Amino acid sequence: MTGLEIALAGFALMLVGIFLRVPIAVAMALTGILGIWVVRGTMAPPLAQLKTLTYDTFASYSLSIVPLFLLMGQFATKSGMSAALFTAASDWLGHRRGGVAMASVGACAGFGAVCGSSLATASTMGQVALPEMRQRGYSDALSTGVLAAGGTLGILIPPSIILVIYAILTEQNIVKMFVAALVPGILAMLGYMAVVAIYVRVAPGAAGTADRVPYRQRMRSLAATWPVIFIFGLVMYGIAGDWDWSTPGPDALFTPTEGAAVGAVLTGLYGVLTRDLTRAAFLDAILETAQATAMIFFIVFGAALFNSFLATTRAPQLLSDWVTGQGFAPMAVLLAMLAAYLVFGCVMDSLSMILLTVPIFFPIVMALDFGLTREETAIWFGILALIVVEVGLITPPVGLNLFIINQVGRDIPIGQTYRGVLPFVASDLLRVGVLVAAPGVTLWLVRAMG
């Protein structure tokens, strides 16, 4: 068998393991070890890797940003920021038709700016917003659908754990990835609000009404969101410096890892000052951060073994050479990859999809000509992959966000959630089409800043 055939067989074996409900990290690790054994003909190389790969993976300075952003999200969740964001958005938009649902989308976007996790955003905002919408007469389908979709903004609005992992895997600038995600994130938020506006006009009975709030109260509730605005602004400005990357020199106030640490400390201090972050809540945040970090690092470790197997077979390079040699249109290849992400979204989480596919897809994308520089191609593909991964989180029947929201509203049939989220999936697919056809929409802010 050729190296490419061995790699494809290993990939198929790993997918079988995932379908049989073997943990994804274990499936990738075992496939990697067995694959290297088959290629090398001895167990010595994989066993030697196990001695060093654990330390090399977990002692990486680049990965230290992950637990820090996770901790910031935990502190934000337990410090009452989500409630303040929802109250402000509801005061400004709640009196409009479908306004409370639109407010939920806006609050999800704001919370995503200090959280970085889709599942945490969906769970937290679901607990805050779902009872409010049901109390005001919103249908179960619209209420759960909008919250499941809004939760995906947690991984699109920077900081995003998935973007950090992608940047590390592809050796890209984390700050530029964050900046590139801003415009698609805002488009996603506006697109979801547009879906709500259309939804409540097509089905007027799906949304209740709320009283108009006086402007004094609106300003007061908006002022209460200052911690989110301040922390997000400080972290983004601090890691990007003066936003002019065309001039050399260390303009940034701190590195992305230091920025994550600053964000975590400030979010924690806010929780202490408001007395929402009690000793029990603090310990709970530390424990949940440790558990999430262990899960992510275990998947990263499994992916490292699997990627080592792929490198041994030279499959990514061979596949890249084969694709370019066939003369396929670059856009056709890209669309096939994005379609694969939609399929993978039915069986695995977003982090696993990125870790599994990027080592295979990235060399192929970089070998194709899209009329962009290499850095622009890498950033553009990363944002597209992130968005399609996000769509997988809300695509029935296995979207993880759908189950998170359904756990919050346990008495709501899952079929209602499926029905309510479909218009938002259509909005996502339309947005993907726009970003594929016009890469400048994603890249213009990065280009404008240097």
pLDDT tens per residue across span 242-289: 555 444 444 667 788 888 899 999 999 999 998 888 999 999 999 999
Q: What is the C-alpha to C-alpha distance for residues 110 and 3, in angstroms, rounded to an integer?
A: 47
Which single residue is written with the structure tokens 């699997």? 306
Q: Which sign, positive or negative, has the C-alpha torsion 72, 78, 84, 86? A: positive
State the Cα torsion 231-252-289-187 to the nearest 10°.
Answer: 60
pLDDT at residue 347, as a whole number = 65
Residue numbers of the chain with a pLDDT score lower than 70: 1, 241-252, 346-347, 398, 450
Q: How many residues does the chain have?
A: 450
Residue 428: per-residue pLDDT: 93
Q: What is the pLDDT of residue 252?
A: 66
In this prediction, residue 248 carries a pLDDT of 41
Q: To 10 degrees, what angle do helices 99-115 and 174-202 make?
A: 170
pLDDT digits (tens, 9 = 90+) for 321-338: 888 788 888 999 999 999
Distances (CA, A) of 83 to 72, 139, 226: 16, 21, 13
Pairwise CA distance, residues 211 & 216, whole Å: 15
Nearest partner of 256 among 240, 231, 233, 239, judged by Cα? 239
DSSP assignment of 234-296 equals HHHHHHHTTS-TTS-S--SSS-HHHHHHHHHHHHHHHHHHTT-S-HHHHHHHHHHHHHHHHHH
| pLDDT for residue 244 | 53
The single-letter DSSP state of residue 64 is G
* Number of CB atoms found within 10 A of residue 371's CB: 8
Which residues lie closer than 8 Å to 106 by C-beta, 6 or more apart? Answer: 85, 89, 93, 189, 193
Q: Which pLDDT value is given to residue 249? A: 43
Q: Please give the Cα distance from 44 to 49 (Å, whole number).
A: 9
Taking the C-alpha atoms of residue 256 and residue 264, their distance in angstroms, rounded to an integer, is 12
